Amino acid sequence: MVIILLVMTVSLQHILGRGHQRALEEQLLTNTSLAYALEDSVIRSLQAAVGALQTVALDAEERSKATSNLLTQRLLRGLPQLRSIDVVVYEQASLCAERASNADVLFLPVQAGRYWGDAFRLAELQYWPVCVPYFSQGALAGFVIGSLNMHYFQSLFQSVSASRREVSLYLFSGEKILGEGADFLSSARREVVMDRSWGDLREQNEQGSYLDSYRATSFYPLVISLRSYNKDALANWQSDAQIVRTIFSVLAIAVVLMLVMYLVFRHKRDKVQGSNHLLSMAIRSAANAIFITDPKGRIEWVNDAFTTLTGYSLKQVRGKTPRILNSGVHERPFFQNLWETISQGKSWRNELVNRHKNGQFVTVEQTITPILDSAGEVEYFIAVHEDITVRKEAEQQVLYMAQHDDLTGLSNRRYFEQCLDECVSQRHYGSIALLFIDLDRFKEINDTLGHEAGDVLLKRVAKKLERIAPDEALLSRLGGDEFALFLHPAQQASHIHHLAQAIVDALAQPFEYQDTTFSVSCSVGVAMSDVADIDSSSLLRQADLAMYRAKHSGKNTYRFFDDSMDESMQRRVATQRHLEEAMSQDDQLSLFFQPQVHSRTNQVVGVEVLIRWRRLGEWISPAVFIPIAEDSGQIIELGRWIIDRTLSQVADWRARNIEVGKVSINISAVQLSNSEVAYELLNALKHYKVPSEVIAIEFTETTLMVRSAQLARNLAMLRANNISIAIDDFGTGYCSLSYLKELEANYLKIDQSFVRGIGDIESDECIVSATIAMAKGLNMEVIAEGVEIEYQAQYLAEHGCDYLQGYGFARPMPAADLEVWLEQRKQTLNAEHVKA
Ligand code: C2E
Ligand code: CA
Ligand code: CA
């Protein structure tokens, strides 16, 4: 562009230069031709005038005055350049004579006045005398003098001077005839003119450069000069040049403007193209699958991710509709909604299941956006898919995990309760039934055979239940060995009875595991209600209560909920609350002590500590509140209180030298497996300065069925500190012998139910004698509980039972009563001793 401008400028300069040149050439040409034309006119008019004068000069002597006058008048009439013709005798024409030469015509310088001999010589009036000699008999007699009218010549030159040219007429001698400038025919010029009778000269004066064109006339000694100033000659050119320059400038500005606009435009376009390129690259390589369709839904373009996601290349889908991806999963209204939305120019976004080319389902989150043209009509649709198959699967897996039990694959408690809630809160009619299924003695199997066996058992139970459960029922493992079955709508009660019995029967079938056959059973609690009458938590509680009732009724059976169960439950809850209250006060709970005597010597060897609770004047049996305290966990706090009180009592007796023997404290399974009971006991011993040998702890055989790490820690600590261990209620649980041996317990307490049978039930006697024998074999001493009658004591003593405890000797009693009892007994024994 710059080059173009430069070239334009140079050529303009050149053109203008040429124009200048041509203008000057034209000036020269015009000047020359004008000079020529002027010479021609001047010469012609002079020739005519001179001719007339010569006519008069011929025979001027001979002509009469009148004839002469007539002739001159006639001549003058035809020659406007001449004002007068006078025949002047030599003596009177001194002016002519002065200059006379041998030429046949003589031009004099311009004279003031109108004509030869004019009396008024006014400066503004001038004439140009031309003299032609006449002869009389061969001798110069005078001159015919013509007065040339200067106006004539002025007007002849007028046209030329009008064109800003200065015209001058000189005599060869240098005198000026006509014209302004006096400087043309300087002496230097005269030489030039003499040298060459016509020519041009370029000179300069204070008015500027000019061109002088001259012509020396060929017939007369005259020089015509024409001066034209360059500025005049160039005036046209200059105004033309000005116009051209202006046009050029305008053009140049326009060109520059266009250039600038072009550059700006190009810059913008490059930017747009750049970002377009970037965008298209971004879309092409985007991770999300993208396709673009025309307004009819025919695919026009797809990106690489689309091919990866669907298996179709652009070639395979161009011109087709996205229907090729249809998985058949979605119903018609789904797509109708899609089309309705996007044809209104709105974006549509939803989850969509597509089918891959290979037939697999792909779940995507699809966004379809219509692209509108300037008129608001849909031009394209752009569909962007995000492959959420993996996310969906993970979600589903998480959901499944959140709703199902790992082991059995049944729904879990959370999901079960959720379904139950939904059903109960949303349905308003129909009956529902909930069956609570709890395995009996599952812990036992888990503990004896290991967790693996337990897991296998649970899986088989789940399978069996699945087989029995009606199709529409929701079966769930609520946790541990608890299962539940929810039916909505539930059939008649008789059907449910049937179902519950079927479950009990099915689970009672022996189950084989690694060459061994085991039998489990289950207790089932059933709650039935009209859905409108109950909330889910009540339903659950009722089934739970019914299940407890089944358990308490000897297990391996089912029970339907009735209101009395609710009452017993309410009682339990009340007991819990009252116990809490009792533990915070000091006047309701107390410790009783029941002596234990040697079976042969009848000497008191120890006491068992038994807790007592008297509330509002009423005794509440530990057989009632201890299980409740165990359920609620209150037993741990209560146990601490018992230990503290016992040791404080023991310390007191020791201080007062009252001999009670070994003090046995009952410790619950909950305490052993859920608290630092051994550590606490040792601390209390230290605190009351009671040696550990004085203390024994009792816990039931069933406690040992749960083998927790805490239990093992507690037992080890007790043994390591020489605290005796007694196994309580022996014979009611299922403790394995090897475990008993491993445990190294010191005492075995035969349960009172067997003692009661002595002298009555043969099998009980067998059990008692066998137990004693076995205990001996394991190096344990035996204590019999509930000895009430003499015969029992006798039997036990005979069979080697070491110690006896029971109403037959003493009931449990307060410390003070015990002290009295001990004193009395000492005296009686002493008396017997004395007697003996
Ligand atoms: P247990 O440990 O088997 O206690 C013996 C129970 O038999 C006591 O009942 C006692 O009063 C009773 N008994 C003793 N001799 C006879 C008799 O000749 N005939 C009859 N029929 N019963 C006799 P108690 O005190 O009602 O305690 C019941 C159960 O409550 C205890 O059974 C024990 O398991 C629990 N228990 C009592 N006190 C405590 C305690 O301080 N801590 C813990 N953890 N449990 C306790
Ligand atoms: Ca006991
Ligand atoms: Ca007992």
287-300 pLDDT, tens digit each: 888 999 998 889 99
Mean pLDDT of 800-818: 97
Mean pLDDT of 790-810: 96
Ligand 2: centre distance to CA 629 (Å): 16
Which residue blocks in 585-736 are alpha helix, DSSP H?
622-632, 634-655, 669-674, 677-688, 709-720
Q: Are 470 and 417 in contact (CB under 8 A)?
A: no
Each as own residue / partner, the long-range contacts of residues 29-36 (CB below 8 Å, 24 or more positions apart, any chain) are 30/228, 31/165, 31/200, 31/211, 31/213, 31/226, 31/228, 32/198, 32/200, 32/213, 34/160, 34/165, 34/213, 34/226, 35/198, 35/213, 35/214, 35/215, 35/224, 35/225, 35/226, 36/198, 36/215
The CATH number for 668's domain is 3.20.20.450
What integer pLDDT is reported at residue 824 of this predicted model? 92
- Token pair for 438: 């709890």
For residues 390 and 417, state if they share a domain: no
Q: Which residue CA neighbors atom 32 of ligand 1 most closely? A: 623
Q: Which residue CA neighbors atom 10 of ligand 1 most closely? A: 812
The CATH number for 555's domain is 3.30.70.270
CA distance 425 to 534: 9
Ligand 1: centre distance to CA 39 (Å): 172
What integer pLDDT is reported at residue 22 of this predicted model? 86
**Residue 379: which domain range?**
287-400
What integer pLDDT is reported at residue 706 of this predicted model? 66
CA distance 647 to 752: 27
Ligand 1 pocket: which of 579, 610, 624 to mutate (most atoms within 8 A of CB): 610
Measured at the alpha carbon of residue 236, what is the angle toward residues 230 and 242, in degrees to the nearest 5? 105
What integer pLDDT is reported at residue 747 of this predicted model? 95
Q: How far is CA 22 from the centre of its chain?
A: 78
CA distance 453 to 451: 5
Q: Which residue CA neighbors atom 42 of ligand 1 most closely? A: 666
Assign 57 to helix, strand or coil: helix
For residues 394 and 481, state if they share a domain: no
Query: Which atom number of ligand 1 is nearest to the Cα of residue 698?
Result: 2
Q: Are 81 and 49 in contact (CB under 8 A)?
A: yes
For residues 418 and 387, state if they share a domain: no
Query: Which atom number of ligand 1 is nearest to the Cα of residue 621?
Result: 26
For residues 611 and 552, state if they share a domain: no
Which residues have CB under 6 Å of ligand 1? 594, 609-611, 621-623, 626, 642, 666-668, 728-729, 752, 785-786, 788, 806-807, 812
Ligand 2: centre distance to CA 666 (Å): 5
Q: Which residue CA neighbors atom 15 of ligand 1 most closely? A: 806
The dihedral region occupied by 389, where left means phi > 0, alpha psi between -120 and 50, and beta the remainder, is alpha
b/e code 783-819 from CB counts within 10 Å (16+ = b): bbbbbeeeebbebbbebebbbbbbebbbebbebeebb
Q: Which residue CA neighbors atom 28 of ligand 1 most closely? A: 623
For residues 329 and 417, state if they share a domain: no
What integer pLDDT is reported at residue 374 of this predicted model? 84
pLDDT band at residue 63 under the 50/70/90 scheme: confident
Question: 50: closest CA among 128, 109, 154?
Answer: 128
Ligand 3: centre distance to CA 755 (Å): 11
For residues 390 and 413, state if they share a domain: no
What integer pLDDT is reported at residue 320 of this predicted model? 92
What integer pLDDT is reported at residue 96 of this predicted model? 83
CA distance 338 to 369: 11
Ligand closest in space to the Cα of 786: 1
Residue 269 lies in a domain: no
For residues 690 and 794, state if they share a domain: yes
CA distance 5 to 249: 10
Ligand 1: centre distance to CA 729 (Å): 10
For residues 331 and 427, state if they share a domain: no
What integer pLDDT is reported at residue 62 of this predicted model? 81
Residue 572 lies in a domain: no
Q: How far is CA 351 from the centre of its chain?
A: 19
Q: Are 497 and 414 in contact (CB under 8 A)?
A: no
Ligand 1: centre distance to CA 758 (Å): 19
- Token pair for 118: 């004019």
pLDDT band at residue 735 under the 50/70/90 scheme: low
Angle at which helix 790-798 crosses helix 762-777, to 10 degrees, equals 40
Ligand 1: centre distance to CA 733 (Å): 17
Ligand 2: centre distance to CA 726 (Å): 9
Mean pLDDT of 514-543: 87
What integer pLDDT is reported at residue 524 of this predicted model? 96
Q: Residue 430 — φ and ψ, nearest 5°? A: 95, 160
CA distance 465 to 475: 8
Q: Which residue CA neighbors atom 4 of ligand 1 most closely? A: 610
CA distance 310 to 323: 12
- Token pair for 79: 């020659």
The per-residue pLDDT for range 459-471, each reduced to its tens digit, is 999 999 999 999 8
Query: Which atom number of ligand 1 is nearest to the Cα of residue 751?
Result: 3
**Range from 131-140, 295-304, 504-513, 680-689 that averages highest in pLDDT:** 680-689
Ligand 2: centre distance to CA 804 (Å): 13
Ligand 1 pocket: which of 621, 666, 811 to mutate (most atoms within 8 A of CB): 666
The per-residue pLDDT for range 695-705, each reduced to its tens digit, is 999 998 878 76
| Residues sharing a CB contact under 8 Å with residue 713, sequence separation 6 or more, in sequence order | 678
CA distance 797 to 597: 11
Ligand 1: centre distance to CA 699 (Å): 12
CA distance 508 to 554: 14
pLDDT value at 690 more than 90: yes
Q: Are 596 and 783 in contact (CB under 8 A)?
A: yes
Ligand 2: centre distance to CA 464 (Å): 40
Mean pLDDT of 477-502: 91
Q: Where are the beta strands (DSSP E) in 126-189?
A: 126-136, 139-149, 165-171, 176-178
Mean pLDDT of 637-665: 97
Query: Which atom number of ligand 1 is nearest to the Cα of residue 635?
Result: 44
What integer pLDDT is reported at residue 751 of this predicted model? 93
For residues 126 and 39, state if they share a domain: yes
Q: Which among 197, 218, 233 is the end of a domain?
A: 233
CA distance 219 to 570: 165
For residues 557 and 617, state if they share a domain: no
Ligand closest in space to the Cα of 733: 3
Ligand 3: centre distance to CA 244 (Å): 134
Query: Which atom number of ligand 1 is nearest to the Cα of residue 667?
Result: 44
Ligand 2: centre distance to CA 738 (Å): 23
Q: Which residue CA neighbors atom 24 of ligand 1 most closely? A: 622
Burial class (CB in 10 A: 0-12, 13-18, 19+), 218: exposed
Q: Which residue CA neighbors atom 19 of ligand 1 most closely? A: 786
Question: 225: closest CA among 208, 210, 235?
Answer: 210
DSSP state for residue 404 in the 8-state scheme: B
Q: Which residue CA neighbors atom 11 of ligand 1 most closely? A: 812
The per-residue pLDDT for range 67-91, each reduced to its tens digit, is 888 888 888 888 888 888 988 888 8
Q: Which residue CA neighbors atom 12 of ligand 1 most closely? A: 786
Ligand closest in space to the Cα of 626: 1
Ligand closest in space to the Cα of 623: 1
For residues 381 and 450, state if they share a domain: no
Q: What's the number of domains the chain is made of?
A: 4
Mean pLDDT of 129-153: 86
Query: Which atom number of ligand 1 is nearest to the Cα of residue 805?
Result: 15
What integer pLDDT is reported at residue 371 of this predicted model? 87
Q: Which residue CA neighbors atom 23 of ligand 1 most closely? A: 786
User: At 58, which amino acid appears?
Assistant: L
Task: Provide the percentage of residues in the chain whose pLDDT is more than 90.
Answer: 35
Ligand closest in space to the Cα of 664: 2
| Residues sharing a CB contact under 8 Å with residue 248, sequence separation 6 or more, in sequence order | 8, 9, 12
Residues surrounding ion ligand 2 at CB below 5 Å:
666, 698, 728
Query: Which atom number of ligand 1 is nearest to the Cα of residue 749?
Result: 3
Measured at the alpha carbon of residue 44, what is the angle toward residues 38 and 49, in degrees to the nearest 5? 125
DSSP state for residue 630 in the 8-state scheme: H
For residues 593 and 534, state if they share a domain: no
Ligand 3: centre distance to CA 782 (Å): 12
Quote the mean pLDDT of the chain: 88
Ligand closest in space to the Cα of 729: 3
CA distance 558 to 562: 13
Parallel, antiparallel, or unpaired for β 781-784 and 558-560?
unpaired
Q: Which residue CA neighbors atom 17 of ligand 1 most closely? A: 786
Which one has a higher pLDDT value, 576 or 386?
A: 576
Q: Which among 233, 249, 274 is the end of a domain?
A: 233
Residue 119 lies in a domain: yes
Residue 271 lies in a domain: no
Ligand closest in space to the Cα of 665: 1
The CATH number for 369's domain is 3.30.450.20
Angle at which helix 413-426 crosses helix 536-552, to 10 degrees, equals 120
Residue 493 lies in a domain: yes
Residue in this structure with the two tokens 């307060």, named with its chain if needed: 814
Ligand 2: centre distance to CA 665 (Å): 8
Query: Which atom number of ligand 1 is nearest to the Cα of residue 807?
Result: 18
What integer pLDDT is reported at residue 693 of this predicted model? 95
What integer pLDDT is reported at residue 536 of this predicted model? 84
What integer pLDDT is reported at residue 626 of this predicted model? 95
Residue 631: how many other CB atoms lie within 10 Å: 12
Ligand 3: centre distance to CA 581 (Å): 27
Query: Which atom number of ligand 1 is nearest to the Cα of residue 808?
Result: 18
- Token pair for 597: 């005597």
pLDDT band at residue 790 under the 50/70/90 scheme: very high
Ligand 3: centre distance to CA 811 (Å): 14
pLDDT band at residue 284 under the 50/70/90 scheme: confident
Q: Are 81 and 45 in contact (CB under 8 A)?
A: yes
Residue 276 lies in a domain: no
CA distance 133 to 139: 10
Q: Residue 803 — φ and ψ, nearest 5°? A: -130, 155
Report in angstroms the alpha-carbon separations of 448 from 445, 453, 460.
5, 9, 18
Residue 785 lies in a domain: yes
Q: Are 130 and 145 in contact (CB under 8 A)?
A: yes
CA distance 320 to 305: 18
Report in angstroms the alpha-carbon separations of 811 from 32, 452, 658, 729, 817.
171, 47, 19, 18, 10
Residue 485 lies in a domain: yes
Ligand closest in space to the Cα of 732: 3
Q: Which among 187, 218, 233 is the end of a domain?
A: 233
